[in-house]
Structure 1
Amino acid sequence: MKPTLVILAAGMASRYGSMKQVEAFGPSGETIMDYSIADAISAGFGKIVFLIRKQFEANFRELFASKLDGKVNYEFAFQELDMFLEGAAIPEERTKPWGTGHAVLSTQPVVNEPFAVINADDFYGADAFRKAYTFLTTAADEKTYAVVGYNLMNTLSDHGTVNRGVCGLDANDNLESVVERYNIAEQGDTVISDDGQEPRELSKDTTVSMNFWCFHPSVYSWYADQFKVFIKENLAVPKSEFLIPAVVDHFIKEGGIVKVIKTDAPWFGVTYKEDAPAVQKQLNDLIEKGAYSTNLWG
């Protein structure tokens, strides 16, 4: 059974200032998602699932139908605030989605096979998708998941601080923890996380998670159970988020194994509006090197 690629595209893009998931960055109007989808198809993935807000379904269908029809199966899943609350009322102060963990849980109705999860607005590189496909088709099971690990230095922005999930690894390169670090930026010759946590200075070759996860469908039971706990404890906290690493951490503590798949693929994203020209340049550089055509779907 071919694995599925889940693309998380329900976020509100508050720091970027617009719906960056569908902004054109490629020379023929390609979104960053287009490159991820093309790399996934090339690697062997059999289905694409777009996790979106229901109100954007028509936009996404219009954008991707002509590109993907006949090339790969695709479906839509929807993340809405009232999902999985089991009768609890949504607080008036809550406006943003419940977080990436809730987003993954929202894809359960349309995913029955091993699957990868990525952000819509991050470029991950072909090597990452090839390695994810190999893991999902040969090693993923009820007790073994994976995360693709990137070099911290390759994930920083020139236009502001970033938040990154710093991976703690054991001697076998299995994940021990993901600690969210905030306000990370290069300062001179060092990389500093100005968030009050220690260590303040981070090694440039620190392995970080860019939210590229590889799961067996058994993971849905973990998400469902942990979201119940989260809602019980955080329903009234307006900005609380149920995040993927929290579920992964619980899985590891209960004896599960999460492999760290290291990749040397280029990573870049659009946290800030000012990042857009750099993203366009990096895509053009890859096109000039022959990694992609000037029209992905032409």
Structure 2
Amino acid sequence: MRKPTLLVLAAGMASRYGSLKQVDSFGPHGETIIDYSIYDAIHAGFGKVIFIIRKEFEDVMREKFDSKFDGLIDVDYAFQDFDLTKFGVDRVIERTKPWGTAHAVLSAKDLINEPFCVINADDFYGTDSFVKMADFLNNEVSDTHMSLMGFEVGNTMSDYGYVSRGVCEVSTDGNMDSVTERTNIYYKEDGAGGKKIVYEEGGVETELAPDTRVSMNFWGFTPKVFEVALSMFPKFVEENADNLKAEFFIPSVPDYMVRHGLANFKVIPTSSKWFGVTYSEDKPIVQESISKLVAEGAYPEKLF
């Protein structure tokens, strides 16, 4: 049986962070967040890692990762760019912002023929998530049965500004009824000395319970998802050709598949506390969190 592949979204420019956080140091020996994800993936049984990057990042990414993982896991790269003809779009649209995370996933369609997992480069998910996802991809996944890791939104917040999350509606049998990308989730004072979690859309604030399940772009797919995304993307581009900020987000594809009866998505629950670096102020918190995990023995002091 072919081992599952790990697809790492690493093409973002990190405008809110202020530097290329994909290669920034967080561990005691300069480890990146990606290093911890790949360490967990190797031990969970993944066989290959593919980085989705911009072409201009290739040299720095190869210098940072190729020799480190040599002999441990196969490494490859796919490039997210503005050539849309390979996705069935026959027009040129001038823009500086990429077309979003689902477009990034499509950039790897010619490199993957096995079940695979998608993660963000700048998110720390923890060992439990990789073990559970590897088990699912090895034993449960099919073209009509895929998955996502369901984090509690209260375990995924930043104290320094808004975050984007795929907010899930979960059925009684543990499957995803829907997932909606909310791009403006933040803490707000609740008037009683505490704080609550809200998202804003169209000038209206809506409260979210702390245990609301959200997607952190940790998905379990088969290559069937490429076929569906390819059928959706040209229409999305046509409808948003004049909207230079429009993005084709990953959650829109599973949501479409569920609504059209093409597949169900198991929400794999985890109470793990996510942490990541949306803002530069998040960095010392992430470094402290990793140092604590190392001190507790969850990870060796030097990963590779």
Task: Please state whether the residue corresponding to 2:230 is helix, strand or coil.
Answer: helix
| Structure 1 gap segments, 5+ residues each | none
Q: Deviations over 1:205-250 (max 9, x none)?
A: 1111101000011111011111121122112221111111111111
Q: How much has 1:55 moved relative to structure 2? A: 1.4
Q: How much has 1:293 moved relative to structure 2? A: 1.1
- Please tell me whether the aligned partners of residues 127 and 264 of structure 1 are also in contact (alpha carbons under 8 angstroms): no
Task: Please state whether the residue corresponding to 1:96 is helix, strand or coil.
Answer: coil
Question: Is 1:100 aligned to 2:101, yes or no?
Answer: yes
Q: How much has 1:189 moved relative to structure 2? A: 3.8
| Structure 2 gap segments, 5+ residues each | none
Alignment of 1:26-105 (within 5 A): 26-83=27-84, 84=86, 86=88, 88-92=90-94, 94-105=95-106
Aligned partner of 1:114 in structure 2 is 115
Q: TM-score normalized by structure 2?
A: 0.94
Q: Deviations over 1:114-148 (max 9, x none)?
A: 00000000000000000000110111111111010
Aligned partner of 2:233 in structure 1 is 227
Q: Deviations over 1:153-175 (max 9, x none)?
A: 11111111222211101111100
- Please tell me whether the aligned partners of residues 155 and 272 of structure 2 are also in contact (alpha carbons under 8 angstroms): no
- Please tell me whether the aligned partners of residues 129 and 149 of structure 2 are also in contact (alpha carbons under 8 angstroms): yes
2:291 alignment partner AA? N
- Please tell me whether the aligned partners of residues 54 and 81 of structure 2 are also in contact (alpha carbons under 8 angstroms): yes
| Alignment equivalent of 1:280, drawn from 281, 287, 303 | 287
Question: Is 1:25 aligned to 2:26, yes or no?
Answer: yes
Task: Please state whether the residue corresponding to 1:39 is helix, strand or coil.
Answer: helix
Alignment of 1:48-197 (within 5 A): 48-83=49-84, 84=86, 86=88, 88-92=90-94, 94-186=95-187, 187=189, 188-196=194-202
1:207 alignment partner AA? R
Q: Deviations over 1:86-136 (max 9, x none)?
A: 4634333x1011100000011011111000000000000000000000110
Aligned partner of 1:291 in structure 2 is 298
* Aligned counterparts of 1:215 and 1:180: Cα–Cα separation in 2: 18
Aligned partner of 1:271 in structure 2 is 278
Alignment of 1:229-248 (within 5 A): 229-248=235-254
Say if 1:273 and 1:139 are closer, same or farther in 2 by CA, change over 3 A. same
Say if 1:237 and 1:175 are closer, same or farther in 2 by CA, change over 3 A. same
* Aligned counterparts of 1:176 and 1:119: Cα–Cα separation in 2: 23
Say if 1:61 and 1:199 are closer, same or farther in 2 by CA, change over 3 A. same
Q: TM-score normalized by structure 1?
A: 0.95
Shifted more, 208-217 versus 227-236: the winner is: 227-236
Say if 1:172 and 1:198 are closer, same or farther in 2 by CA, change over 3 A. farther
- Please tell me whether the aligned partners of residues 25 and 32 of structure 2 are also in contact (alpha carbons under 8 angstroms): yes
Report the RMSD for the aligned CA atoms in angstroms.
Answer: 1.4
Question: Is 1:205 aligned to 2:206, yes or no?
Answer: no
- Please tell me whether the aligned partners of residues 85 and 231 of structure 1 are also in contact (alpha carbons under 8 angstroms): no
* Aligned counterparts of 2:153 and 2:93: Cα–Cα separation in 1: 37
Say if 1:85 and 1:134 are closer, same or farther in 2 by CA, change over 3 A. closer
Task: Please state whether the residue corresponding to 2:251 is helix, strand or coil.
Answer: helix
Aligned partner of 2:257 in structure 1 is 251
* Aligned counterparts of 2:203 and 2:48: Cα–Cα separation in 1: 40
1:289 alignment partner AA? E
- Please tell me whether the aligned partners of residues 7 and 49 of structure 1 are also in contact (alpha carbons under 8 angstroms): yes
Q: How much has 1:184 moved relative to structure 2? A: 2.2
Task: Please state whether the residue corresponding to 1:179 is helix, strand or coil.
Answer: strand
Task: Please state whether the residue corresponding to 2:273 is helix, strand or coil.
Answer: coil
Q: How much has 1:192 moved relative to structure 2? A: 2.1
Say if 1:249 and 1:86 are closer, same or farther in 2 by CA, change over 3 A. same
Matched positions, count: 296
Task: Please state whether the residue corresponding to 2:239 is helix, strand or coil.
Answer: helix
- Please tell me whether the aligned partners of residues 5 and 117 of structure 1 are also in contact (alpha carbons under 8 angstroms): yes
* Aligned counterparts of 1:108 and 1:183: Cα–Cα separation in 2: 30
